[in-house]
Amino acid sequence: MKAQERPKVLCVDDESRVVEGLVLHLRKDYEVHTALSGDEGLKTLKKLGGVYVVISDMRMPGMDGATFLHHVMTFFPDATRILLTGEPGRDAAVSAVNNARIFRFLLKPCPPDQLKAAVEAGVIQYRLINAERSILKETLIGCIKALVDVLAIANPIAFGRASRVKRLSLDFAAALSFRDFWQLEAAAMLSQIGYLSLPGPLLEKLYYGEVLTETEKTLAKGVPDVAMALLENIPRLDPVVQILAALNWNDEALLRLGDGTIGMGTRILGLVLEYDVLNTQGHSIDVCVQTLRRRASRYGEELIEKFGQFLGAGSGKAEARQIPLKAVQPGMIIAQDIRTS
């Protein structure tokens, strides 16, 4: 096995001699890193990335092993967690198992063979979890792609909007350092799936902000229900469905979600969707942002201002120009639909 392919293992103990002993036993088969405290261990995990196994002592000054491994579970959930301690107290064991979901509990002094067996099992566990996630993700992506392909064929207008919204949502999310890209990307692409139930002329009226009849309003109100019926039974799509469902919540309920994956993802997507409607109607960026400021009770003033800065509101950064079709390049935003005569 090549050195760069060896699984990464992090050993954390406030006693340097214990850490040195762990390195001595594991360095032949693993890329071993060390830390002398929980805080240092978390910084090391963030710096390294892709750590397979974390071994931690229980009794350490400041942050004990159970607390440290709980943080590892929260921020680096893929890493397999092993607790190594010389004090097998019941309370310590209960805390570690319940709060940190440790994989193995080893007692000091730990025989080398037992240590190696535990780490090897931890590496296998890491690989199994990631292999399963990869298969599920590929299956999920396939389901989403199939639905989006149907949308593209059946309703090009809705597909065009979904594509614009996806691109702008992801670019804005990147500017905000929002990490959960796949949930937001999937939600953006599926945000228009419910419009498959609407006839083309009604969809055009909706997108261009035209006045609807009472019958048309009733049909439009049923769009979210159609989307939920299509998506709610797809395995592992829960966070995406939650984002799409929250788009229809009232302002207070939406803000209560906070800045987590669902809350921030919904606010980013909702803001971009509203912007796209205004922009499609021909309004300038400045007018769009000014209109969106009236929605501060829903999206929050700070997020709207950041969105305005991202778009370049007030800077003259964006301009509409008329160019020949052959001059259109990837990344350009089409101000109006392109129609054949």
38 pLDDT band (50/70/90 cuts)?
very high
Indicate if the pLDDT at residue 203 is higher than 90.
no
Secondary structure (3-state) at 241:
helix
Please give the structure tokens belonging to residue 199. 């006839």
Indicate if the pLDDT at residue 137 is higher than 90.
no
Contact (CB, 8 A) for 71 and 88: no
Pick from 67, 70, 81, 10: which is nearest to 41 by CA? 10
Contact (CB, 8 A) for 27 and 52: no
Choose the weakest-confidence range: 28-32, 51-55, 89-93, 301-305.
89-93
Please give the structure tokens belonging to residue 84. 């190594």
Write the CA distances from 137 to 43, 174, 186, 233, 302, integer angstroms: 29, 21, 12, 16, 33
Q: What's the rounded Cα separation, in Å, for the pair 224 and 92?
A: 48
Residue type, 229: A
Which residue ranges make up each domain of the chain? 3-129, 155-326
Please give the structure tokens belonging to residue 329. 């390049």
| Topology given in CATH for the domain delimited by 155-326 | Hypothetical protein af1432 (1.10.3210)
Indicate if the pLDDT at residue 56 is higher than 50.
yes
Q: What's the rounded Cα separation, in Å, for the pair 203 and 189?
A: 17
314 pLDDT band (50/70/90 cuts)?
low
Chain segment 151-190, per-residue pLDDT in tens: 888 888 889 999 999 999 999 999 998 877 889 999 999 9
Indicate if the pLDDT at residue 24 is higher than 50.
yes
Q: What's the rounded Cα separation, in Å, for the pair 209 and 53?
A: 55
CATH superfamily of 3-129: Response regulator (3.40.50.2300)
Q: What's the rounded Cα separation, in Å, for the pair 53 and 76?
A: 11
Cis link prior to 239 (omega < 30° from 0)?
A: no
Indicate if the pLDDT at residue 305 is higher than 80.
yes
Dihedral of CA 280/159/296/216: which sign? positive
328 pLDDT band (50/70/90 cuts)?
confident
Contact (CB, 8 A) for 208 and 238: no
- DSSP class of residue 110? P
Chain segment 272-288, per-residue pLDDT in tens: 999 998 998 889 999 99
304 vs 325, higher pLDDT:
304
Whole-number pLDDT of residue 1: 42
Domains 3-129 and 155-326 share a fold: no
Q: What is the DSSP string of 18-83?
A: HHHHHHHHHTTTSEEEEESSHHHHHHHHHHH--EEEEEEES--SSS-HHHHHHHHHHH-TTSEEEE
Region 85-111 average pLDDT? 75
Contacts of 149 (CB under 8 A, 6+ apart): none
Contact (CB, 8 A) for 287 and 278: yes
Contact (CB, 8 A) for 280 and 185: no
